[in-house]
Amino acid sequence: MIERMTAAKDLFYSLAVQVGWHSFVEFAGLMAKYIELVERAYEQSGEFIVLPLQPHDAEYLLEKLDGIFGPSAAITLVPRGNFRPTAERKA
Selected residue with higher pLDDT from 29 and 88: 29
For residue 85, which phi and psi values (nearest 5 degrees)?
-65, 160
- Among 23, 25, 4, residue whose Cα is nearest residue 14: 25
- In terms of residues, how long is the chain? 91
Whether the pLDDT of residue 79 is over 70: the answer is: no
pLDDT of 3-38, one tens digit each?
999 999 999 999 999 999 988 999 999 999 999 999
- Local structure of 76: helix, strand or coil: strand
Residue 43: in which H helix or E strand, if any? helix 22-45
- Among 40, 33, 35, residue whose Cα is nearest residue 57: 33
pLDDT at 54: 82
Whether the pLDDT of residue 88 is over 70: the answer is: no
Selected residue with higher pLDDT from 82 and 6: 6
pLDDT of 47-77, one tens digit each?
777 777 788 888 888 888 888 877 665 555 4
pLDDT at 43: 87
Residue 57, CA distances (Å) to 11, 62, 64, 67 in order: 23, 9, 11, 15
pLDDT at 78: 45
